[in-house]
Chains A and B, each alone.
Chain A
């Protein structure tokens, strides 16, 4: 169930390389752990972030998940649809539930992330 071709972090973010940028979201496992998502706080477009920096929060009724930048770069887009429909993160975490897009500073950072197999090992097959 863990999509191939994406990169993953130990904190359960996914990063999808798209021609110099990466699209970022949280994994199926992360949204399941959180439960019904009721609120997503996204970074401003134009903000520069470093790898590992907290850039967004995803809230359910009784938990808060921090989202860290998987790579360094500038925020070039964010998923404003989540403001009115945060449940998209539950319904389609790898698709319509994406959070933001980063323009990479150093594409080599991508290689430091987990691949699907390594992430699957981390979460025990439940992506």
Chain B
């Protein structure tokens, strides 16, 4: 697989720049000699057509939502509306400097304010910050809000623990740790829900709060959610809700009505902004009344017809983003909400939950379904018992040959050989049916010709890759020949 460094020839370039007004030496004389770069960085030298062909070729080796079905559980790979890309490129948004005075950026502040108001409404919670740049960044910000809250109440010394169900996303424990908390794991019960007895036993004066994913990573709604949040609140703790799975109840229920104190949105999941090959996303937070004073600086407020920045918030945790967060991502999320309206938002969760349950009911005939009950926007199968020596990894790789992106695999950890499937609302029934058929055929192949699975993929740009070699003999950058 050639890199851009293998294209081009010395002296070629991919764009043009204005000429210098004077000699290089003269300009360089402004920099003390010892601080001048001695050797130029090794960068590609390619013409524009070479560059475009190289990246077009690379882009075709990728699978995206625009390529086909991408049921990557917990990532909500829904369709990314094209209108949004045009809107985010409007010069009034993309060409705006973040340090311009308030009165010069009223439209951009309007975007922030409108989005904040809608997110408050969707969460059913009174405060919002848009600064976090991704879900995990939102989690960290939420943990810092917990920390300031208890600091303010002079309880921080004793409240050192964060409770985490064993089905939590890996970012949750990492975020709690970064804010200085100690993580305590709470087991799931046979239903795949938080074990209430274990929760009660863990609660006490040393607990700052709990981090819940609702619905959880098995795609199951915590039926005891009100009891859980009540117990935590009674013990003096706070409740964090990981909102990565909001697609499950958008337009039907609100975390604020379930007892959430902090809730993070993933605009790149629920609100359709593109995942970009790994980012950028955006992870705004909604918070309950007691946490509003601690929100990051500044807050956007409306005064009559004018928007302003409120800096007078002495209890704030400070900034978590140098400016206002991932603004261009927010433009897209706002456009999505405005296009859908209340009805459309409800159709999102209707469609997502309908598609997930439909796939679950069909696939449980062929695959093991450890938690056989109503699911929300996703569900978890197990690849166990499909055939001699067949592992979930083999099923995933074989799906590539059928033209599908594999589901999330080996997560959550509490299901052996997990296959976590999230179809989203944007897939036509025909695609769901084709996916089921592929899964059924793969199950048959696992019996009849397991080598088809073991050696898959056969039709991808590369065969199975040696991941151990990449760590044992690391090559993390290109080197000059």
Q: Do chains A and B touch in the complex (CB under 8 A)?
A: yes
Q: Could you tell me the distance in whole angstroms from the C-beta of A11 to the nearest C-beta in chain B?
A: 17
Residue B476 at the A interface, CB < 8 A? no
Which of A38, A59, A62, A86 sits near B410, CB closer than 8 Å?
Answer: A62
Chain B residues contacting A61 (CB-CB under 8 Å) are 467-468, 471
Chain A residues contacting B467 (CB-CB under 8 Å) are 36, 61-62
Docked complex: B446-481 residues within 8 A CB-CB of A: 467-468, 471-472
Q: How far is the CA of A86 from the CA of B469 in the complex (A)?
A: 11
Q: How far is the CA of A39 from the CA of B470 in the complex (A)?
A: 12
Per DSSP, chain B at the interface is helix
- Nearest CB in chain B to that of A86: its residue: B472
Q: Could you tell me the distance in whole angstroms from the C-beta of A64 to the nearest C-beta in chain B?
A: 12
Residue A87 at the B interface, CB < 8 A? yes
Q: Could you tell me the distance in whole angstroms from the C-beta of B23 to the nearest C-beta in chain A?
A: 52
Q: How far is the CA of A57 from the CA of B472 in the complex (A)?
A: 15
- Nearest CB in chain B to that of A37: its residue: B468
- Nearest CB in chain B to that of A59: its residue: B471
Residue-wise, chain A 63-87 has the 8 Å CB interface mask toward B (1 for contact) of 0000000000000000000000011
Chain A residues contacting B468 (CB-CB under 8 Å) are 36, 38, 60-61, 87
Chain B residues contacting A59 (CB-CB under 8 Å) are 471
Number of interface residues of B (CB under 8 A): 5
Chain A residues contacting B471 (CB-CB under 8 Å) are 38-39, 59, 61
Chain A residues contacting B472 (CB-CB under 8 Å) are 38, 86-87
Chain B residues contacting A86 (CB-CB under 8 Å) are 472
Q: Could you tell me the distance in whole angstroms from the C-beta of B391 to the nearest C-beta in chain A?
A: 11
Chain B residues contacting A36 (CB-CB under 8 Å) are 467-468
Q: How far is the CA of A62 from the CA of B411 in the complex (A)?
A: 12
Q: Could you tell me the distance in whole angstroms from the C-beta of B447 to the nearest C-beta in chain A?
A: 25
Q: How far is the CA of A87 from the CA of B469 in the complex (A)?
A: 11
Q: How far is the CA of A39 from the CA of B472 in the complex (A)?
A: 7
- Nearest CB in chain B to that of A90: its residue: B468
Pick the most buried of A38, A62, A86: most chain B CB atoms within 10 A of its CB: A38
Q: How far is the CA of A38 from the CA of B471 in the complex (A)?
A: 6
Docked complex: A37-60 residues within 8 A CB-CB of B: 38-39, 59-60
Q: How far is the CA of A40 from the CA of B472 in the complex (A)?
A: 11
- Nearest CB in chain B to that of A36: its residue: B468
- Nearest CB in chain B to that of A60: its residue: B468
Q: Could you tell me the distance in whole angstroms from the C-beta of B464 to the nearest C-beta in chain A?
A: 13
Chain B residues contacting A87 (CB-CB under 8 Å) are 468, 472
Q: How far is the CA of A39 from the CA of B467 in the complex (A)?
A: 13
Q: Could you tell me the distance in whole angstroms from the C-beta of B171 to the nearest C-beta in chain A?
A: 16
Chain B residues contacting A39 (CB-CB under 8 Å) are 471
Q: How far is the CA of A126 from the CA of B471 in the complex (A)?
A: 28
- Nearest CB in chain A to that of B468: its residue: A36
Chain B residues contacting A60 (CB-CB under 8 Å) are 468
Q: Could you tell me the distance in whole angstroms from the C-beta of B230 to the nearest C-beta in chain A?
A: 36
Docked complex: A61-118 residues within 8 A CB-CB of B: 61-62, 86-87
Q: How far is the CA of A38 from the CA of B473 in the complex (A)?
A: 9
Q: Could you tell me the distance in whole angstroms from the C-beta of A21 to the nearest C-beta in chain B?
A: 30
- Nearest CB in chain B to that of A35: its residue: B468
Q: How far is the CA of A60 from the CA of B472 in the complex (A)?
A: 10
Residue-wise, chain B 263-295 has the 8 Å CB interface mask toward A (1 for contact) of 000000000000000000000000000000000
Q: Could you tell me the distance in whole angstroms from the C-beta of B263 to the nearest C-beta in chain A?
A: 30
Q: How far is the CA of A31 from the CA of B186 in the complex (A)?
A: 27
Q: Could you tell me the distance in whole angstroms from the C-beta of B294 to the nearest C-beta in chain A?
A: 34
Q: Could you tell me the distance in whole angstroms from the C-beta of B385 to the nearest C-beta in chain A?
A: 17
- Nearest CB in chain B to that of A61: its residue: B467
Q: Could you tell me the distance in whole angstroms from the C-beta of B332 to the nearest C-beta in chain A?
A: 33
Q: How far is the CA of A36 from the CA of B468 in the complex (A)?
A: 6
- Nearest CB in chain B to that of A85: its residue: B472
Chain B residues contacting A38 (CB-CB under 8 Å) are 468, 471-472
Chain B residues contacting A62 (CB-CB under 8 Å) are 410, 467
Q: How far is the CA of A36 from the CA of B410 in the complex (A)?
A: 16
Q: How far is the CA of A95 from the CA of B468 in the complex (A)?
A: 22
Chain A residues contacting B410 (CB-CB under 8 Å) are 62
Q: Could you tell me the distance in whole angstroms from the C-beta of B330 to the nearest C-beta in chain A?
A: 34
Q: How far is the CA of A74 from the CA of B471 in the complex (A)?
A: 31
Q: Could you tell me the distance in whole angstroms from the C-beta of B471 to the nearest C-beta in chain A?
A: 4
- Nearest CB in chain B to that of A84: its residue: B472
Pick the most buried of B410, B467, B468: most chain A CB atoms within 10 A of its CB: B468
Q: Could you tell me the distance in whole angstroms from the C-beta of B259 to the nearest C-beta in chain A?
A: 34
Q: How far is the CA of A62 from the CA of B467 in the complex (A)?
A: 9
Q: Closest 3 CB pairs between A and B?
A: A36-B468, A38-B471, A61-B467
16 example contacts (A-B, Cβ-Cβ < 8 A) are as follows: A36-B467, A36-B468, A38-B468, A38-B471, A38-B472, A39-B471, A59-B471, A60-B468, A61-B467, A61-B468, A61-B471, A62-B410, A62-B467, A86-B472, A87-B468, A87-B472
Known: A61-B467, A87-B472. 14 other contacts (CB 8 A): A36-B467, A36-B468, A38-B468, A38-B471, A38-B472, A39-B471, A59-B471, A60-B468, A61-B468, A61-B471, A62-B410, A62-B467, A86-B472, A87-B468
